[in-house]
C-alpha cells in the first residue's frame, strides 16, 4: 500500500486523509486568508525567499498576523518537502484567519491556521516546446485595485473561478480577464505577456494583477537577454493582433497562447521569442542560486 503524503498543520504533521481544519475557520467561511503556490525543482525550492516575502506582504495588507517568523515558515516549508521525500513538487502554503464564529469580524479569530501541502509534480520545462493553449476574453472583470485586489494573494479566488467557468463553457483552456477599464489584466491563475514586432509588453499594476514571482523572473530574464519589457496598459486589440502571447505562473510555468476567442495568434503555435524564453527559463529553475536547497542545508537565513 502506497504511503500517504504528510501535511503540515500548525506545527504537526498528519497523513493526508487525517489533515483537517475547523469548519469555523474563517478561511473556509469567508476566504479570509493568504497563500502561496511554490515549486520544487531537483530538490531545490524555487525563489522561496520571494514567496515567503510575498506571503507576509499579503498578510500585512489584510491585517493578518502570521504566528511564525519568516525563518520558521521557511523551515516549515523545507521540512514538509523533506518529510515527503520529494525532489520535484508543488507546495501550497496557506495561512487562514483561523477559527471564529459565524460573523465576519476577524477580531474573533484568535489563532491563525497554518498548513502546508507538498505533492509530487514534475516540470514540463525542457527541450520540448511549451504547451499551446486556447483562451477567451472573460465577461468577468478582474477586481479593481481599490476592491479585493489580486495584488493580495488571498484565499478568495471566486473572481478567477468564474472566469475559468467561462473558459470551460467555451471549450477552451483558460480565460483572460480585463480590468474595470477594459484593459487586459491577467489569466485566471497566470500573468500574461504579448510580443509585437519583437517588443514585449505585460500589464502593469494598475490592471489589478498579482505580482507573480515567475512574471518578475521572466522580466529580468528578458533584460539579461537584451529584450526590453514594457509594463503598461494593454488593450484587447493589442492582445488579438500580437505576434506572440504567452502566460506564466508558478504551477503552469510558461504556456504559449495559440488563439484568443478563436482568433489565431501568430501561426497558432509557439513563437520564436516564447520558445527562447521557455528554453532559457528551463535552465534558470535548475540553477542553485535560484533556489533554496531542501536536503543539503538544515537551515536558511532570511
Catalytic residues: 153
User: Hunting for cell 528551463 — which residue is that?
Assistant: 282
Residues forming beta bridges with residue 134, ordered by sequence position: 259
Q: Distance between CA 257 and CA 135 in Å, rounded?
A: 7
Which residues neighbour 155 within 8 Å (Cβ) at sequence distance 6 or greater? 27, 31, 32, 33, 34, 35, 94, 96
Amino acid at each position: 500500500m502506497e504511503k500517504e503524503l504528510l501535511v503540515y498543520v500548525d506545527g504537526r504533521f498528519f497523513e493526508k486523509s487525517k489533515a483537517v481544519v475547523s469548519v469555523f475557520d474563517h478561511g473556509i467561511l469567508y476566504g479570509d486568508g493568504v497563500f502561496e503556490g511554490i515549486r520544487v525543482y531537483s530538490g531545490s525550492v524555487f525563489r522561496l525567499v520571494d514567496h515567503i516575502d510575498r506571503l507576509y506582504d499579503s498578510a500585512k495588507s489584510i491585517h493578518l498576523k502570521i504566528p511564525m517568523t519568516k525563518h520558521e515558515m521557511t523551515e516549515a516549508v523545507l521540512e514538509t518537502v523533506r518529510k515527503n521525500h520529494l525532489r520535484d513538487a508543488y507546495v501550497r502554503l496557506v495561512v487562514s484567519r483561523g477559527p471564529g464564529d459565524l460573523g465576519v469580524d476577524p477580531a474573533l479569530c484568535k489563532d491563525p491556521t497554518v498548513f502546508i501541502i507538498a505533492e509530487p509534480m514534475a516540470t514540463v520545462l525542457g527541450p520540448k516546446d511549451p504547451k499551446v493553449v486556447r483562451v477567451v476574453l472573460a465577461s468577468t472583470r478582474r477586481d479593481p485595485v481599490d476592491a479585493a485586489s489580486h495584488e493580495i494573494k488571498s484565499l478568495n479566488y471566486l473572481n478567477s473561478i468564474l472566469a475559468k467557468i467561462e473558459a470551460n463553457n467555451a471549450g477552451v483552456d483558460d480565460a483572460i480577464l480585463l480590468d474595470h477599464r477594459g484593459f487586459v489584466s491577467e489569466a485566471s491563475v497566470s500573468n500574461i505577456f504579448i510580443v509585437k514586432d519583437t517588443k514585449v509588453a505585460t500589464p502593469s499594476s494598475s490592471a489589478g494583477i498579482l505580482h507573480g514571482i515567475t512574471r518578475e523572473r521572466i522580466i529580468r530574464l528578458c533584460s539579461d537577454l537584451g529584450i526590453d519589457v514594457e509594463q503598461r496598459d494593454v488593450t484587447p486589440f493589442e492582445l488579438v493582433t500580437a505576434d506572440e502571447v504567452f502566460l506564466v505562473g508558478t504551477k503552469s510555468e510558461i504556456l504559449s497562447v495559440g488563439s484568443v476567442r478563436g482568433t489565431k495568434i501568430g501561426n497558432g503555435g509557439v513563437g520564436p521569442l516564447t520558445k527562447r524564453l521557455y528554453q532559457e527559463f528551463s535552465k534558470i529553475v535548475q540553477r542553485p542560486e535560484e533556489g533554496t536547497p531542501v536536503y543539503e542545508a538544515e537551515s536558511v537565513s532570511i
